[in-house]
Amino acid sequence: MSPYRRILLIMTQPESCPAALLRALALADASGAALHVLGVYEPTELRLHHELQQPPAATASFVHFNAELNALLDEQCAHRPHPSFETVQTLNPRDFLPAYIAKFAPDLVIKDCPASSMFGQIAQASLDYALLHACQGLFQFVPVNAPAMPAQVLIAVDVASPEPAQHVLNHRLIEAGQQLALQCNGHAHLLSAYDLPMAMLANAELAEPWAQ
């Protein structure tokens, strides 16, 4: 039985090569899941309205965003069932999206990953950072050059920590990674890294049994 029944795709910008959309469509096809596409538009020209606590109004740029995303879906879904689709204009997606995801309750959330520096992606002000810290469940952040279906799935766990919560998290990560690899007909690989205690760096006889 597929672990995915409802997949939510979040798109913040229509791309000519929509890797996140292709990933969502491929996983929905493979798993038989229902796919819902949510386009999220944050207009820069409305920031002044936000500062003045004025309600946002629909803009020409939002209408253009909606038309572009709809055309992209029509193009990519020409020979497959069209997913459900909606677009929203919001001044604060960091507050809007966690509430939307909690209400929609998807089995998997897929989001486009804009090209930016690693610092930009993990910065506390970024939307991706806010989603990871405010939402429960499975996320896939798909960069622009990612394949539709990954052939290799790397599962990173921490087996050096004795905390029970980490043990539970390790098993959840392994299960999620194996399920993804199964849906993609790919291979799952397990990785764990650890910091060797300083006292063992100078004594290989102590280090080897500890590592084992």
Residue range(s) occupied by CATH 3.40.50.620 in the chain: 1-149
**How confident is the model over 48-57, as pLDDT tens digits?**
455 445 555 5
pLDDT at 212 over 80: no
**Predicted local distance difference test score (pLDDT) of residue 122:** 59
- Output the CATH code of domain 1-149: 3.40.50.620
**Predicted local distance difference test score (pLDDT) of residue 52:** 46
| pTM of the predicted structure, to 2 decimals | 0.82
b/e sequence 159-170, b meaning 16+ C-beta within 10 Å? eeeeeeeeeeeb
**How confident is the model over 5-43, as pLDDT tens digits?**
999 999 988 776 689 999 999 999 999 999 999 999 988
% of the chain with per-residue pLDDT over 70:
85
| 135-154 average pLDDT score | 90
**How confident is the model over 145-159, as pLDDT tens digits?**
899 999 999 999 998
Burial of 149 (0-12, 13-18, 19+ CB in 10 A): middle
% of the chain with per-residue pLDDT over 90:
48
What DSSP designation does 123 have?
-
Lowest mean pLDDT among 72-81, 137-146, 191-200: 191-200
Q: To the nearest whole number, what is the mean pLDDT of the chain?
A: 84
| 88-106 average pLDDT score | 92
Gap between the Cα atoms of 203 and 199, Å rounded: 7
